[in-house]
Amino acid sequence: MKKNLLKNPAVQSLIASLLCIFLGLLIGYIVLLFINPAGAWDSIVEVVKNFMHSPRPERQLRSLGTTLVRTAPLLMCALSVLFAYKVGLFNIGVAGQYVAGVCAALYAALAWGWGWLPCMLFALAAGAVLGTLVGLLKAYCNVNEVISGIMLNWITLYTTNMLLSKVKEVASPYTLHLTSNAPQALLPTLGLGRFFSDNQYVTIAVPLAILFAIGVNIVLDRTRFGYELKATGNNRNAAKYCGMAEKRNIILTLVIAGALAGLGGSMLYLTDLEQWSVTATSVPGMGFNGIAATFLGGLNPIGTIFASYFIQHITDGGTNVDLTMYCAQISDLISAIIIYLCGFVLFIKQSMNKRIAKNEELRLQKARLAAEEGGTK
C-alpha cells in the first residue's frame, strides 16, 4: 500500500506550523481592520515583506543582513527553550539568561577591556549561572521553574541596569558604543558583511548560531546524554527507575539552556548594532520571542532555525507599518497569537491522525465489501 505522506510526523509538524502562521497573520489582519480598515492590508503586507520594503536591491540586502544579525540571538534563545523543553522543563527564564549574557559581555568589554572571545565566554558563564540556580531550585526544592525563572528575570534586569550604569554615556541612558570605546570586543566579521551591501554588523554570530542549532540536534538525537534527557522528559519516574540520574539531568539541562541564552545575548550586543538602555523597565522581548520560535519550529532544532528567522522577519517588518495608524507592536501581537495557536498543535495533529485512520478504515471496508460481492457472484 502507498505510504500516506500526511502520516509522517515531520510533515504534520510543518502543516501545523504553517497553519499557525496563516491563522496568526489572519487574526493580526482582522485586528488591524478593527483599528483602521483603510491601511490594514498594506500594513500586514509590510509586516510580511520586511526587507523587501525598500525598492533598491542593495538596501534590501542590507536590511536582510540586519534581520539576520537579530535572528542569531533569537535562535540561541529558542534553542535554550527547546533544550529545556525536551526534559519537560519550560525555561521561561531564558529572557533573564539572555539579559545576563548582555550584561556580562558589555561590562567585560567596556569596563575591563576584554577581547571578544573572553567576553562571549563570560556571557555564556553568566547565563549558565542563572540556569544553574533555576535547576537547583527545581531539583532540590521542587520550585516551579516558570515562577523562579520569572523572578530571576526581574532580578537580573535590575542588576543589569545597576551594573551597566557604570559604563553608560554621560548624557544618555545608553551604554557606550563598542566601536569607539572597545573595538577589541567587536565580533570578527570575516568579511561576511560583503554579502549584505557592506553591513558591518553581520559577524560570525550568524553562522555560529546555525552551528549551535546543528550541534543541539546532534546532542539530542545522537548521544546518550540526549537520549537520557528525552527519556526523562517523557516519563520522569520511568527514567529514574532505569537508573538515569534525573536530578543531575535536570540541573545539567538548565545549565546548558542558560549558557545558550547567555551566549545569544553576547551575539547581538558585541556587534554594536544595539546599545543597552539602563532605564529599561521590562525584560527585552528576545527571550519570549524565542519561546514562539521554539514551538513554531515544531520543537526541532533545524525547524527552529527557520522559525526564528520568520519571527524576527515579522518583528522587523512591524517597524515598517504606517505609524500614523498602527504601531510596531502589531508584530508582537502576531507572535503572541502564533504561540497561543501552537498550544493547539497537539490537537491539530490528533485530528489529522484521526481523519487518516477513518479514511483508511473506510477504504478497507469498501475493499472488503467489494471482495465479498465478488466472492458471492
Partner 1 sequence: MSVVLLIQYTLIFSSVLLLVALGGCFSEHSGVINLGLEGIMVIGALGGALVMRFLPAGTPGILIVLLTLLAAILFGVLYSCLLAVASINFKADQTIVGTAMNMLGTAGATVLVKAINTALNPDDHSSTIQYITAKKAFIVNIGAFEFNWFMLVAVIMLAFAYITLYKTKFGLRLMACGEHPQAADSVGINVYRMRWSGVLISGMLGGLGGICYILAGVSEWKFENGVAGFGFLALAVMIFGQWKPLRIAGAALLFGLFRALSNVYFGFDWLVSLNLPGTVYNMMPYIISLLVLAFTSKKSRAPKAEGIPYEKGMR
Residues forming contacts to partner 1 in the complex (CB under 8 A) are 31, 35-36, 90, 92, 137, 141-144, 146-148, 150-155, 158-159, 161-162, 281-282, 288, 291-292, 295, 323-327, 329-330, 332-333, 335-337, 339-340, 342-344, 346-347
User: Closer to partner 1 at the Cβ: 137 or 182?
Assistant: 137
User: Closer to partner 1 at the Cβ: 189 or 319?
Assistant: 319
Distance CA 211, CA 199 (A): 21
Cβ of residue 259: shortest distance to partner 1, in angstroms? Answer: 21
Cβ of residue 311: shortest distance to partner 1, in angstroms? Answer: 12
Cβ of residue 310: shortest distance to partner 1, in angstroms? Answer: 16
User: Closer to partner 1 at the Cβ: 8 or 36?
Assistant: 36
Contact 317, 44 (CB under 8 A): no
User: Closer to partner 1 at the Cβ: 44 or 291?
Assistant: 291
Cβ of residue 167: shortest distance to partner 1, in angstroms? Answer: 16
User: Closer to partner 1 at the Cβ: 6 or 38?
Assistant: 38
Cβ of residue 158: shortest distance to partner 1, in angstroms? Answer: 5
For 16, 346, 354, 355, the CA distances from 6, given in Å and listed in that order, are 11, 15, 11, 10
- What DSSP line would sit under 65-119, residue for residue? HHHHHHHHHHHHHHHHHHHHHHTT---TTHHHHHHHHHHHHHHHHHHS---HHHH
Cβ of residue 312: shortest distance to partner 1, in angstroms? Answer: 15
User: Closer to partner 1 at the Cβ: 196 or 288?
Assistant: 288
Nearest to 266 by CA among 107, 116, 102: 102
Cβ of residue 9: shortest distance to partner 1, in angstroms? Answer: 17
Cβ of residue 89: shortest distance to partner 1, in angstroms? Answer: 10
Contact 202, 192 (CB under 8 A): yes
Cβ of residue 341: shortest distance to partner 1, in angstroms? Answer: 8
User: Closer to partner 1 at the Cβ: 60 or 153?
Assistant: 153
For 218, 231, 235, 236, the CA distances from 228, given in Å and listed in that order, are 14, 5, 11, 10
Long-range contact list for 195-198, CB < 8 A, 24+ apart? Answer: 195/61, 195/65, 196/61, 196/62, 196/64, 196/65, 196/68, 197/58, 197/59, 197/61, 197/62, 197/65, 198/62
For 16, 46, 273, 314, the CA distances from 60, given in Å and listed in that order, are 30, 13, 17, 15
Q: For residue 89, which phi and psi values (nearest 5 degrees)?
A: -110, 140
3-class DSSP state of 138: helix
Distance CA 18, CA 345 (A): 11
User: Closer to partner 1 at the Cβ: 302 or 327?
Assistant: 327
User: Closer to partner 1 at the Cβ: 112 or 154?
Assistant: 154
8-state DSSP, 278: T
Distance CA 100, CA 86 (A): 23
